[in-house]
Amino acid sequence: KAGVTQTPRYLIKTRGQQVTLSCSPISGHRSVSWYQQTPGQGLQFLFEYFSETQRNKGNFPGRFSGRQFSNSRSEMNVSTLELGDSALYLCASSWTGRNGGELFFGEGSRLTVL
């Protein structure tokens, strides 16, 4: 079955702009999580959505937001981009998002902020 699909794979933005990233989870998975990966900070949890509701949130500023649609697809948005937002953004899906079920990751969207 198809894996987690993220679009776009690569994008370049300038400071001050905003960006929207999209994630289609594995069919049947209702939990979608987002992570940011940078060389300095590693993989850091952004937020998690289940049935269109945000259930969990990491320590990121309010410029980072997300949403989930009724078909479980999810988007994340970063407004007023800063140079430090350059990173690989990974989406992961699972059946429930709880312990006992591993997360399935997409290939990521690589954002470069100039």
Q: Which residues bind another protein (CB under 8 A)?
A: 4, 31-33, 42-45, 47-50, 55-56, 58, 90, 92, 94, 97-100, 102-108
Measured in residues, the chain has a length of 114
Q: How far is the CB of 16 from another protein (least distance, A)?
A: 28
Query: Quick one: 19 or 90, whose CB is closer to another protein?
Result: 90
The angle at the Cα of 23, spanning 106 to 102, to the nearest 5 degrees, equals 45
Query: Quick one: 50 or 64, whose CB is closer to another protein?
Result: 50
Sign of the CA dihedral running 12, 114, 32, 94:
positive
